[in-house]
Structure 1
């Protein structure tokens, strides 16, 4: 039984609705589908589960209408798809003339009154269609169960007296009767026992020679002694016998890639070096230029009359070519297919203008789809969030007497600084890009504490220690980046507890230390792990659940393509499933690394956002601390549409 049926326009106006189980939750389900599925261009599946409900829909593109049916997921109603089609056909046939004139006569009370009065008759017709669908579904299911599996008309049936071909098992048995080397196994037939003829021994093949391994390095002429000159070449210590701590820091800063300082003093990182917008509308989708339809050989950019509506035959060639093009841009296969399917469903039945063309209409629809997918549904201004939390902390401390202020910092988790946790698979660049984010925060004069919670990988703590040392010595325009504040407190510090410890405990202690010392931001580095490693994913979920960071950023490569969907969805699901809390946390956004290596094959950005709906906060574009960029949606759209 249905819970609710809604007919609405693509502009968001509800034309008619029927609720069978009146509840505010039903309307909330419809709102969630509109926000999380329609606005983010996930309509190709025509089905989505929201809580305990399932929502199915169909489009009437000629009138820009959407038909939605809501029912309990446990019911598994099989007639809903056919019922949606019948309701859509009946409604559009009955109200098409009225709906075409209604937008132009919304100020006329008579037109609105006529539409409202006709809804009473429609409710009765809807109930009749629903009864037919509900009563017809069990009958169809019973017929399907009773109908034998008859062979298809094209199947070959042997005529009487014709030789019957051996079935697959018989052929396999015949093959099994052959011995090694293809020799036939002979049956003597005595007392039901079978004796096998001895197979002809195969000719002996000489073993392949072993590949030569890596030769041992020879230090001297005789292979043993080391020449004194070589000893000096291998000595990297300073003259006094101590390691030289001086580092050439110019290699870690590219001044041409520095961001800009706004009028309010905030330092903004630069935009990604995306392609400039195309000069005209025909520049993108150039790969469709020579594609021709099957019927009559007309180009896809042929002119259609104002009365002609797009059909699946018109759109099939261009949609197929569009899908192949998106896959060549590193978009995951499944995502490309669903996006193109959604574009086709929105265009079927749509009437074009007198001088409209299939090519331009598809380009426009695809551009709108990709833009909607990539546009964040939440704020991505991290600096604003940090400033707001810092202001709330200062307001709370101002209410505490001076003598108890330090004690409040020690014991009150409400005074925790802003925390960002970096997670991801092995080797994607979490620690390196954490250092880039740290440089950006230091440029905005925030005090940053880095928590070394990768207690597994050898050298992980030393890597962060090197970054902290380098950032502490950097100078921009003669000003130290990590210079102390007015009270002499350091702006950058590393919190470490060595290896083999519990990462969740280290992060908790780091937050307590940052709270006590007055740090503004804590950056939590975690060990890389594969998304299918359950013990490690449980440990990561524990770290997130215990410490509740303000942002959990997934760090992934821009090169992975199809793998991005699997990594993101499994990380997000594991953080929730293994948290053990009532309101679990998942991922909040992405940071894509190695962005400078993909050129215009930027499909991973589209794949990552489509898979989870998460925004992309940053992209990494190189090896220096200034190689961090903000992603601009129109740059990605232009790169994806460029032929």
Structure 2
């Protein structure tokens, strides 16, 4: 796994580096200057680029930045705490403002960063082994007990030739062949002078040292120092720092607490759930406006208002009864056309196949149109899906059918002609639904997005569904907006399918990001790799995850 850490001043001077990789941080500096990052809180921000995930924390005039591979098991809060600890360690030990960082400071910072990377590696290894972290802890505890038992057994084994044993009965020695002088301390002048405390011999090697770093207490003192920046910020927010303990007690017993404090706490929580900072702020501004001029509110009232707001955002404002619309159009002898769009790699073809299986299970005839004529192997991939679905359909009681319509590979005009021919073929052959697979395209590339309008005008699908990825985070806002606007002023996206939801746990904020940005509802979510892993959105389940 590739990773590196760097500390640098606002002037650009690097004061510390780990792993000796400075060049990737040029991109970090560029994003800081241009403010093209995602703000996780007022001093902590992140962005992704070139298969790397960057994080940065600013404390006064010094920045702490790190990166590693995009795929990581470390949560944002652990990274934030590590960067803050590193910066506090540097400030505590480098107060003389020397140009060269001391070896002691380097060792202490190295230790903290290595612990973060070790935590990531341990979690990955545990996941690969197929058991939870709790299981791993139990196993470690079991091993420790075994070692302790062995050590205890060894320690109880008498050492021959060094000390003779005595036999005791009812507090009296019944057999004594040992030297009694070993038990007589009455003549020990040194012992009496020390008040009866006899020096205990111990082995210095029994104490572990890590990289000759015996600075644990000093490191603890550095990290325990009060964070003046945090205190100043809290005090400027209506004195919430001084009232922190009072607020917690009042919240616990159902009393009212500061509205701004509650809003900030839920803002941080929503961000950890993958909701973008801007979207989170918009939602919480709405909540605060509901309380009018009130400055305090109970936790229960605030949480209830937030729950209602999130539910309202995710609840569809249009009918999601596709089956009714499909059957209504089929009665007129016309196929129902659905076009699937999205960026590269989100799982368009896979989710199109899942959608096809769902339609087959509802006894509808499906024709899949291969209009991804740019990516090599795209048509062949769809053929495999169709063959698999056809075999599954024959083994079930369904009387429906599925086939593929393709005309090979070609350019933009070829795509339009293929779509038109597929719709005409479906009408003649009695297919109820035409599912059109399209090429993946980068949402920020205007040249690649432009052909979507021409395609939409020519195919005129009944529904345009965008496949979004639950993993993408705050970038989902720009993706959703750009695809929603790509079909011109007279046409927009109709639904989202959010893929890979099974990979993010309770970090389901991408759904809120995309719906808030476009007002387009979510039709299905993808929860796995099989054709049956497609489900209707449960709004209540998602809201509970966000507030958990």
- TM bucket (normalised to shorter chain) is 0.5 to 0.7
**What is the CA–CA distance in structure 2 between the aligned matches of 1:547 and 1:388, rounded to whole Å?**
20
**What is the CA–CA distance in structure 2 between the aligned matches of 1:440 and 1:325, rounded to whole Å?**
35
**What is the CA–CA distance in structure 2 between the aligned matches of 1:515 and 1:590, rounded to whole Å?**
26
Alignment of 1:35-54 (within 5 A): none
TM-score, normalising length from structure 1? 0.46
State the Cα deviation string for residues 550-585 of structure 1 (Å, max 9, x = none): 1100101001111110001011112115xxxxxx21
Q: Which has the higher contact order (CA 8 A, sep 6+)?
A: 1
**What is the CA–CA distance in structure 2 between the aligned matches of 1:516 and 1:390, rounded to whole Å?**
12
**What is the CA–CA distance in structure 1 between the aligned matches of 2:272 and 2:343, rounded to whole Å?**
24
Give ranges in structure 1 of 5+ residues lacking alignment.
1-291, 394-414, 485-490, 578-583
* Maintained 8 Å contact 1:573/1:586: yes
Please report how far the alpha carbon of residue 510 of structure 1 lies from its aligned counterpart in structure 2 after TM superposition.
0.5
Matching residue of 1:536: 448
Matching residue of 2:470: 558
Matching residue of 2:247: 299
Matching residue of 1:627: 533
Please report how far the alpha carbon of residue 536 of structure 1 lies from its aligned counterpart in structure 2 after TM superposition.
2.4
State the Cα deviation string for residues 602-627 of structure 1 (Å, max 9, x = none): 10111111111111001111111111
Match of 1:493 among 391, 396, 403: 403
Please report how far the alpha carbon of residue 363 of structure 1 lies from its aligned counterpart in structure 2 after TM superposition.
0.4
Matching residue of 2:499: 593
TM-score, normalising length from structure 2? 0.53
Match of 2:290 among 346, 356, 380: 346
**What is the CA–CA distance in structure 2 between the aligned matches of 1:527 and 1:620, rounded to whole Å?**
20
Match of 1:458 among 372, 376, 379: 376
Matching residue of 1:514: 426
Cα-Cα RMSD:
2.4
Match of 1:326 among 250, 254, 270: 270
Match of 1:637 among 533, 543, 546: 543
Give ranges in structure 2 of 5+ residues lacking alignment.
1-238
Please report how far the alpha carbon of residue 541 of structure 1 lies from its aligned counterpart in structure 2 after TM superposition.
1.3
Please report how far the alpha carbon of residue 298 of structure 1 lies from its aligned counterpart in structure 2 after TM superposition.
1.7
- Select the structure that is richer in helix: 2
SS in 1 for 2:300: helix
Please report how far the alpha carbon of residue 304 of structure 1 lies from its aligned counterpart in structure 2 after TM superposition.
13
Matching residue of 1:382: 322
1:359 correspondence with 2:359: no
Matching residue of 2:261: 317
Change (3 A) 1:303 1:620: closer
Please report how far the alpha carbon of residue 632 of structure 1 lies from its aligned counterpart in structure 2 after TM superposition.
0.7
SS in 2 for 1:385: helix
* Maintained 8 Å contact 2:485/2:492: yes
Matching residue of 1:172: none
Match of 2:396 among 474, 479, 482: 479
**What is the CA–CA distance in structure 1 between the aligned matches of 2:249 and 2:259, rounded to whole Å?**
11
* Maintained 8 Å contact 1:474/1:480: no
**What is the CA–CA distance in structure 1 between the aligned matches of 2:369 and 2:252, rounded to whole Å?**
62
Matching residue of 1:603: 509
**What is the CA–CA distance in structure 2 between the aligned matches of 1:608 and 1:518, rounded to whole Å?**
36
SS in 1 for 2:434: strand
Please report how far the alpha carbon of residue 349 of structure 1 lies from its aligned counterpart in structure 2 after TM superposition.
2.4
**What is the CA–CA distance in structure 1 between the aligned matches of 2:352 and 2:488, rounded to whole Å?**
24
Please report how far the alpha carbon of residue 535 of structure 1 lies from its aligned counterpart in structure 2 after TM superposition.
2.8
SS in 1 for 2:453: helix
Change (3 A) 1:480 1:498: farther
Match of 1:612 among 493, 513, 518: 518
Matching residue of 2:136: none
